[in-house]
Structure 1
Amino acid sequence: MWLFGWLGRLPLSVLYKISDVFYGLIYYVVGYRKKLVVQNLTQSFPEKSPQEIRQIARKFYQLLADLFVETLKLPYLTPQELQQRVKIDNFELPQGYIQQGQSFLSFSAHVANWEWVPGALTTRGIPVDVVYKTLTDKKSDDFMFRVRSSFEVYPIPMQRLMREVVARRKIIRTTGLVADQSPHEPEHAYWFPFLNHETGFFPGTEKIARTTKMPVVFGEMYRTGRGYYTVLFHKVAEPPYDDLPDGEITRLYKDLLEQAIRRHPAEWLWSHNRWKHKRQKEVEES
């Protein structure tokens, strides 16, 4: 991990040269999950030609390589640099909740450079708790914890989420959750059409919203240039949630996420095996 820490101190101009080499390795030489990426893209966008699919795949791998070096760089950016590189449109939406003394939930996704968003908010005066999934390797997990703690962000392991939500309930903040992961228990998931697939969504994020009675926003992120991003916040739902059917908060988030991916198709994490689980009724019928 010392090597990653050393690399993070290099200027981004140098890191992007390393990224170019890394992209060549993972796309042309190793072919990291290329079959899965092409399969996911082809099934998600059946209207696109093979040439268009290959073009999106190449752009995705270029972004993936950049994401690696940009994550290493995060602790070494200044607040001013981070704010210049991550522009926030309609900042008045999240800022308004904080000014009203209202904590809220931010549902995000593996789109563009999601690791830079929490720091882009804390440096603008919005406290952020960020929920993350611990890594199996302890050294890697410790390293990523330090990276995610940059700019006074408060990382919370997924397994401690509810305890931390209760313990920190008096702190006005946003709690960020990456809500596009494949559910661990598909039989309890919310299932919706999503990118031309029947897709299961983790139910815990909605349950947290209903339990805490916090408003929910979705942070859409997209790249405007190499190392430059824009975040656009969308209001998903606000309490009281009594009149909303079960799963409706998740469905609203899902719709916003799909629209964002279709606008910028190369910027979602296509190497993730998102559709490894099937809905139980489909399994029984096959």
Structure 2
Amino acid sequence: MASNWQYHMFKSMSRLISSLPYSWVLLIGKCLGRLYYHVAGRQRKRALQQICEGMSLTVAEGEQIIKSLFTKIGQTFLEIMYTPVLTPQNFERYITLENRHYMDEALAQGHGVVILTAHVGNWEWLGAGLALTGWPITSVIKRQPNDQHTRLLNEYREMVGMEIFARGTTELVAAAKAMKKGKALGFLADQDAGRSGIFVEFFGKTASTPPGPAVFAKRFKAPVVPCFAVRKKEGGHRLLIYEPMYYQDTGNEAEDIKNFTIRMTNMLEDVIRTYPDEWLWFQKRWTTQPENPAVDSLQAMTATVAAGKADNRREGGGRLD
């Protein structure tokens, strides 16, 4: 009952926020973000430590970026509550697409598309902007600790035209079927992947990295299109679409998946370095460390490939590739 109460509370808050002018949403969000900076001591300290280490910054330089980050987080939170305002007719008032031809060309190949993204800017409005453009967008999501938060987010994702699959469930079979139909499947590839991840370098430290984008790109011979939403100074977002990346098959499956994961991780790092106050630096990104880097990475990739083949057999398919 308590959790249902939370859902209805956030839904009511969303209705109120959606009645405001967008300029007010940004102003109130900025104030909330500044407040959050002062009360979220653990996240603030972790973010400062990780950005200073990862980007070789002084404490003063790091603090300036993290203060800006928290301000933008406050705005993003209110923007997510503002999502019901977005429609196919008006979303370009808030979201400007750049290089949309890359997505058009990738989808036209007919193999589906893997969307590579991260917790950069307002990633929820990234998905909304792609879907409202008319592209067939699906996404693999991680459930929130509170099911009612997940319920509201998924309701808004589906409202703008996205199809949602939960990570780590049998819904991944449905995600594979969506790729077979030529749809685009989004992955947030910047979270700690635990023991099932591939260990690669990220900002100078070993990080357990999700293998999903590489595995799906291999399995469906699909292009990988990096996409990110970054905030404009005057308000709203630039939706950046980058040139597609392609899986290189040399016949050594484990090494090929690892090498492609490294290329994609380097791409994420380049974007974060360009827009450092847009990424969630307080994520526990480097929590999982390999006991034996060579062995752990090989085992993770082997398990990932085996799981993909098992899913394929359950669908009635043959080879993974």
TM-score (norm 1): 0.89
Alignment partner, residue 235 of structure 1: 244
Task: Report the more deviating stretch, 114-123 or 66-75.
Answer: 114-123
Match of 2:33 among 12, 23, 38: 23
CA distance in 2, matches of 1:157, 1:194: 25
SS in 1 for 2:116: strand
Match of 1:40 among 50, 74, 99: 50
SS in 2 for 1:2: helix
Match of 1:195 among 189, 203, 219: 203
Alignment partner, residue 57 of structure 1: 66
CA distance in 1, matches of 2:120, 2:161: 22
SS in 2 for 1:278: coil
Higher strand proportion, which one? 1
Query: Kindly tell me: are residues 281 and 117 of structure 1, through their superposed partners in 2, closer, same or farther at Cα, counting changes over 3 Å?
Result: same
Conserved in 1, the CA contact under 8 Å of 2:214 and 2:247?
no
Q: Deviations over 1:62-81 (max 9, x none)?
A: 11111101111112223243
Alignment partner, residue 174 of structure 1: 184
Higher helix proportion, which one? 2
Conserved in 2, the CA contact under 8 Å of 1:83 and 1:123?
no
CA drift of 1:238 comes to 4.5
CA drift of 1:109 comes to 0.5
CA distance in 2, matches of 1:241, 1:4: 53
Task: Report the more deviating stretch, 103-112 or 188-197.
Answer: 188-197
Task: Report the more deviating stretch, 264-273 or 5-14.
Answer: 5-14
Fraction of identical pairs, as percent: 22
CA distance in 1, matches of 2:245, 2:194: 24
Task: Report the more deviating stretch, 124-133 or 243-252.
Answer: 243-252
Letter in 2 for 1:270: W
Give matches, 1:120-135, under 5 Å: 120-135=129-144
Task: Report the more deviating stretch, 52-61 or 89-98.
Answer: 89-98
| RMSD of aligned Cα (Å) | 2.3
CA distance in 1, matches of 2:275, 2:262: 20
Query: Kindly tell me: are residues 235 and 167 of structure 1, through their superposed partners in 2, closer, same or farther at Cα, counting changes over 3 Å?
Result: closer
CA drift of 1:30 comes to 4.1
CA drift of 1:21 comes to 2.7
1:136 aligns with 2:136: no
Conserved in 2, the CA contact under 8 Å of 1:224 and 1:230?
no
Q: Deviations over 1:74-103 (max 9, x none)?
A: 122232432232222221111012234331
Query: Kindly tell me: are residues 32 and 97 of structure 1, through their superposed partners in 2, closer, same or farther at Cα, counting changes over 3 Å?
Result: same
SS in 2 for 1:78: coil
Letter in 2 for 1:131: V
Alignment partner, residue 12 of structure 2: 3
Point out where structure 2 has 5 or more consecutive residues left out of the alignment.
Answer: 1-9, 294-321
CA distance in 2, matches of 1:114, 1:107: 11
SS in 1 for 2:213: helix
Task: Report the more deviating stretch, 143-152 or 159-168.
Answer: 159-168
Aligned residues: 280
Task: Report the more deviating stretch, 203-212 or 65-74.
Answer: 203-212
Q: Deviations over 1:6-27 (max 9, x none)?
A: 2342322222232133123211
Q: Deviations over 1:156-184 (max 9, x none)?
A: 11123431134435532211111111012
Alignment partner, residue 152 of structure 1: 161
Point out where structure 1 has 5 or more consecutive residues left out of the alignment.
Answer: none
SS in 2 for 1:221: strand
1:183 aligns with 2:189: no
TM-score (norm 2): 0.80
